[in-house]
Chains A and B, each alone.
Chain A
Amino acid sequence: MAEEKMLYFDNAATTWPKPETVYQAVDKALRSGGSPGRSEHATSLAAERLVFNSRERVSSFLGIEDPASLIFTLNATDSLNMAIKGVLEEGDHVIITPFEHNSVLRPLNSLVRDGKISVTELPLTSAGIVDLEALPSLIRDNTRMVISTHASNVTGQIMPVAEIGTLCKQKGIYFLVDAAQTAGVYPVKIRDLNADLLVFAGHKGLLGPQGVGGLYIDKNVKIKPWREGGTGSRSEEEFQPELLPDYLEAGTMNVPGIAGLEAGVKFIEEVSLEKIRSHEIKLAGMLRQGLKNIPGVRIFGPSSCADGVAVVSFEIDQVDSGNIGFILEEVYGILCRTGLHCAPKAHNCIGTYPRGTIRLSPGYFTTEEDVNYVLKAVKEIAEEAQ
């Protein structure tokens, strides 16, 4: 019999609940009306100001010096498509890590299938982490871009992005960082990462609503828009105006989402990123420790939670992860993610392809009591599976 309670352990997919101020900001923006940058009346300008303020706050939070180089998008996938398809040209070579999400793999795969680009994967060390020392030998004359997720959405492992960025800078290669799993829960500063392009989701660690994401583009990056249309600026021109941010922001923007994103970032600033990370890492540590003591449970990912974000992947005696997830929800009211988590190659790395893992991702609003309840539930299921 399902219990009344519902415990949300799927914050790596989308954070929930949101801070109360995020709900309020979305509601207020939606009621305010106005199309940003389109008409010139009061509500239109008010909408534009919401976008402007959000752009400034998010930029400051991520250490972006020029807010015009921050593009609002639909989500991290949209940003990645924009970066990959807008920058890469025929004949280019790309290097990726084996932990990339399908939002990186699929756009690249279609370009490879069409014979336009080639892709090489970084190997792993015996410890199962990205082999940084192998990177220089993989670079070719036509290597245009290196792409790395900042943290794996399967294991939570932080990648050596700063080191990769430094090497890319030395070699004059664009470095694209997918910060979907880190922005808002782990320090992300453009300068520290040496990133030329950085992608984030608004609805995950940044605590905003779904339907908004972002792309940072360094001034040196040559990019073509993959979405063109109305920008509200230079309407008489036949082609897309080339000035950022309009260049890559065709179409009416998601003002309520962007306003909600600003409220999410403001919440993080007020609470402090350090406090949020410390809380989440403590919970992830409790999960790891507790799961380790349950017979039949195998945990994946970094040995120390300090090397990762609050994502804990595990399996029970190789039982289908989907079945475990179903029982966790039906019997215990625990919501988590099971399967491949849109990152099939990562499962090759940890040996769980194709069965996948059960992923628990606590958030800022998760409590220690919630974690203890989950551990009790997993223990009961594991005993049943013996």
Chain B
Amino acid sequence: MEINKDKLCYFTFPTTYYALLGEKILKRNGMIFKMTPLPRSISSNCGTALRCSPADKDNVQEMLTAAGVIIESCHILEESKGVGLFSLLKR
């Protein structure tokens, strides 16, 4: 599935350990996603976020939770509302 170019879904985690556990689970399930730096519009915290299509949000959340991944938060960001420099990646 093509990632929606207008909106992006970000999952954040309390530690990188859970971000990478999430990566492993989603890879195993053949999901389309990307590990990205945590957008500063979400948090000033440094860390890694997991980005996917908003259409996959519920599915991803379910997979992660079922595997014991602790999710800190989930955000759907619109490019015009602070994705900022990440819009460059999508050109």
Determine if A231 and B15 form an interchain contact, defined as CB atoms under 8 angstroms apart. Answer: yes
Interface residues of B in 12-51 (CB under 8 A from A): 14-18, 20-21, 24, 35-38, 43-48
> With A40-B36, A40-B37, A49-B20 in contact, do A245 and B15 touch (Cβ < 8 Å)?
yes
Chain B residue numbers with a CB within 8 Å of A236 are 43-45
Contacts of A45 in B (CB 8 A): 35, 48
Docked CA distance A236–B47 (Å): 12
Chain B interface, number of residues (Cβ within 8 angstroms): 20
Asked if residues A246 and B46 are in contact (CB atoms below 8 Å), the reply is: no
A38 to B17, CA, bound (A): 12
CB pair A66–B48 under 8 Å, yes or no, is no
Once bound together, how far apart are the Cα atoms of A36 and B14, in whole Å? 15
Q: Tell yes or no: B70 within 8 A of A by CB.
A: yes
- CB proximity of A228 to chain B, nearest CB, Å: 15
A246 and B48 contacting across the interface, CB-CB below 8 Å: no
- Contact A48-B48, Cβ < 8 Å, known A40-B38, A231-B15: yes
Restricting to A225-251, which residues have a CB under 8 Å from any CB of B? 231-236, 241, 243, 245-246
Contacts of B17 on A, CB cut-off 8 Å? Answer: 52, 55, 67-68, 245-246
Q: Which parts of A201-242 form the interface with B (CB within 8 Å)?
A: 231-236, 241
Q: Give chain A nearest CB distance to B9 CB in angstroms.
A: 17
- As a 0/1 sequence over residues 30 to 55 of chain A, the CB contacts with chain B under 8 angstroms (1 = contact) are 00000011111100010011001001
The 7 closest A-B CB pairs, nearest first, are A40-B37, A37-B16, A52-B20, A246-B15, A233-B15, A243-B14, A48-B16
A selection of 28 A-B contacts at a CB cut-off of 8 Å is A36-B16, A38-B46, A39-B46, A40-B36, A40-B37, A40-B46, A40-B47, A45-B35, A45-B48, A52-B21, A52-B24, A55-B17, A66-B68, A68-B17, A68-B18, A231-B15, A232-B46, A233-B14, A233-B15, A233-B45, A233-B47, A235-B44, A235-B45, A236-B45, A243-B14, A243-B15, A245-B17, A246-B14
